[in-house]
């Protein structure tokens, strides 16, 4: 590997490590520009890949159309044009630059399996450092007798730390699927190191205790298991396949059950129904728009679960804002808060659902374009999982090759982020940039990477 390529990987690893660190926006921007510069030069030296990227045409067109729609809404629809344009510049433009960076990394290393594997390993190491820090923090607090509820690690919040942990799971699950089906490896990790990485990630999930993160993780595990069974379907009996699918669903339900034990919503089904009805009555109970008000109480005097109450109330009010402004209020992290301010004279922040935030900001057309972008990426990844590498026989199942690993990784990343943005406000800040970088890297790798991979050790 040449020095400039090695320097690019070092910059990429530092960037991905720095992304979630609080107070590092300027450093992130500098590193992002340097990564684009280095890998842009390497991609230019290697030349344009020709027609290999045509399978990514639909996602690219949808993303370009969404960007144009953002600008249109900001200029001609939004009551706060200056605010929306500033958000597009500070948020969306950074996301597009991160997407460009990821694409350039894959374009620079296409057909070079060793370089591709080390670029993936660089990202895994950056994520693993965050996970290990959380684990060590938990060990330290436990050994010193200190109590704790949710650990944040270096990321500034347990939700952001858990976001990193789940991304690491996507890399590991894709690797497990690939090794199990093909007896080859994409990541330059032995089986022992891969197992240790998974153990560290599961410990981190336990220490972060993020209910939404565990729900998403359970569903990503289910998807990875189904991809494995799909890849093995020509080798195993139908009864074994059915039993495997059933086992996966049971394990996933177990994960959802674990999530339900973290801050239970209610002690009984009756309390649950009462909590939902109170949260939905946003006119009578107004604590959802004023943090200074105390949360409502259940009829028996118990305080309602604040998180559930607020999320349901915000969801309802968010839908009402979409109904009032079907073309959107203007793209922005806090479009929900701006809408509440205009409607009620008070309100701030986001709706705790990235998809709802996007719909409030860009209206129904924007939500359809954004959802279409995700659906098109997932569809392309699924087709690659089925069709295998270029030159493989039509209809082949999970043919070996780096393109196939990238397809599995892309599918899991899109599923992870797509589910997470329904439950959390992640279409913002470094979380958006990290997803865009990884999605572009995996998508372009899937379209252009060479087929050679190293066999997995026995």
Average pLDDT over residues 409-419: 95
The Cα–Cα gap between 355 and 79 comes to: 21
193, 243 contact by CB (below 8 A)? no
201, 168 contact by CB (below 8 A)? yes
Q: How far apart, in Å, are the Cα atoms of 423 and each of 17, 52, 211, 350?
A: 24, 35, 10, 12
The pLDDT of residue 358 is 95
The pLDDT of residue 313 is 84
The answer to which of 38-47, 60-69, 208-217, 386-395 has the lowest mean pLDDT is 386-395
Look at residue 455 and tell me whether its pLDDT is greater than 70. Answer: no
pLDDT band at 454 (very low <50, low <70, confident <90, very high): very low
Sign of CA dihedral 432, 149, 215, 358: negative
The pLDDT of residue 321 is 93
The pLDDT of residue 185 is 84
Look at residue 288 and tell me whether its pLDDT is greater than 90. Answer: no
Tell me what percent of the residues of the chain surpass a pLDDT of 90: 53
109, 116 contact by CB (below 8 A)? yes
The pLDDT of residue 401 is 67
Look at residue 68 and tell me whether its pLDDT is greater than 80. Answer: yes
Look at residue 229 and tell me whether its pLDDT is greater than 70. Answer: yes
Cα 86 to chain centroid, rounded: 24
pLDDT band at 393 (very low <50, low <70, confident <90, very high): very low
The Cα–Cα gap between 26 and 16 comes to: 14
Average pLDDT over residues 270-297: 75
The pLDDT of residue 110 is 84
pLDDT band at 285 (very low <50, low <70, confident <90, very high): confident
The Cα–Cα gap between 324 and 48 comes to: 46
pLDDT band at 231 (very low <50, low <70, confident <90, very high): low
> Quick one: DSSP state of residue 303?
B
The answer to which of 171-180, 205-214, 226-235, 249-258 has the lowest mean pLDDT is 249-258
Between residues 449 and 392, the one the model is more confident about: 449
The pLDDT of residue 156 is 85
pLDDT band at 413 (very low <50, low <70, confident <90, very high): very high
Look at residue 112 and tell me whether its pLDDT is greater than 60. Answer: yes
- 96-106 per-position pLDDT tens digit: 999 999 999 99
Q: How far apart, in Å, are the Cα atoms of 364 and each of 94, 219, 231, 317?
A: 23, 27, 37, 16
Mean pLDDT taken over the chain: 84
Instruction: Give the DSSP letter string of 134-161.
Output: HHHHHHHHHHTT---S---TTTTSHHHH
| pTM strictly above 0.75 | yes
Torsion-angle region of 352 (φ positive above 0: left; ψ -120 to 50: alpha; else: beta): left
Average pLDDT over residues 389-397: 37
Average pLDDT over residues 180-195: 86
The pLDDT of residue 73 is 97
């Amino acid at each position: 590997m040449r020095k400039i390529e090695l320097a690019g990987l070092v910059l990429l690893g530092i960037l991905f490590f720095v992304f979630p660190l609080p107070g590092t926006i300027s450093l992130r921007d500098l590193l992002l520009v340097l990564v684009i510069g280095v890998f842009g030069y390497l991609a230019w030296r290697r030349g344009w890949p020709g027609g290999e990227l045509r399978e990514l045409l639909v996602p690219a067109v949808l993303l370009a159309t969404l960007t144009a729609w953002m600008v249109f809404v900001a200029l001609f629809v939004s009551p706060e044009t200056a605010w929306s344009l500033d958000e597009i510049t500070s948020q969306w433009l950074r996301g597009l630059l991160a997407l460009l960076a990821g694409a350039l990394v894959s374009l620079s290393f296409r057909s070079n399996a060793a370089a591709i594997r080390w670029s993936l390993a660089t990202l895994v190491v950056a994520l693993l450092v965050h996970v290990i820090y959380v684990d060590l923090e938990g060990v330290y607090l436990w050994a010193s007798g200190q109590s704790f509820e949710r650990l944040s690690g270096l990321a500034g919040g347990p939700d952001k730390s858990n976001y990193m942990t789940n991304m690491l799971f996507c890399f590991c699950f894709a690797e497990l699927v690939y090794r199990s089906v093909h007896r080859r490896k994409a990541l330059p990790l032995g089986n022992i190191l891969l197992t240790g990485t998974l153990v560290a990630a599961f410990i981190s999930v336990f220490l972060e205790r993020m209910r939404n993160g565990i729900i998403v993780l359970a569903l990503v595990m289910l998807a990875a298991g189904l991809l494995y069974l799909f890849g093995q379907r020509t080798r195993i009996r139908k009864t074994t396949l059915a039993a495997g699918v059933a086992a996966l669903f049971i394990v996933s339900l177990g994960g959802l059950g674990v999530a339900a034990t973290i801050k239970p919503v209610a002690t009984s089904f009756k309390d649950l129904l009462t909590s939902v009805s109170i949260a939905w009555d946003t006119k009578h109970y107004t604590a959802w728009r004023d943090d200074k008000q105390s949360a409502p109480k259940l009829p028996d005097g118990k305080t309602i679960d604040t998180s559930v109450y607020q999320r349901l109330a915000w969801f309802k009010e968010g839908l009402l804002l979409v109904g009032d402004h079907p073309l959107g209020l203007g793209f922005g992290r806090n479009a929900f808060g701006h809408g509440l301010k205009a409607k009620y004279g008070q309100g701030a922040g986001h709706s705790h659902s990235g998809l709802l935030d996007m719909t409030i900001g860009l209206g129904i057309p924007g939500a359809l374009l954004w959802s279409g972008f995700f659906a098109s990426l997932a569809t392309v990844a699924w087709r690659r999982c089925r069709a295998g590498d270029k030159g493989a026989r039509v209809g082949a199942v999970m043919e070996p090759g780096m393109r196939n690993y990238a397809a599995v990784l892309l599918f899991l990343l899109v599923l992870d982020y797509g589910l997470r943005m329904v439950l959390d406000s992640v279409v913002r800040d470094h979380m958006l940039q990290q997803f865009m970088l990884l999605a572009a890297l995996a998508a372009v790798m899937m379209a252009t990477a060479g087929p050679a991979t190293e066999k997995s050790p026995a």
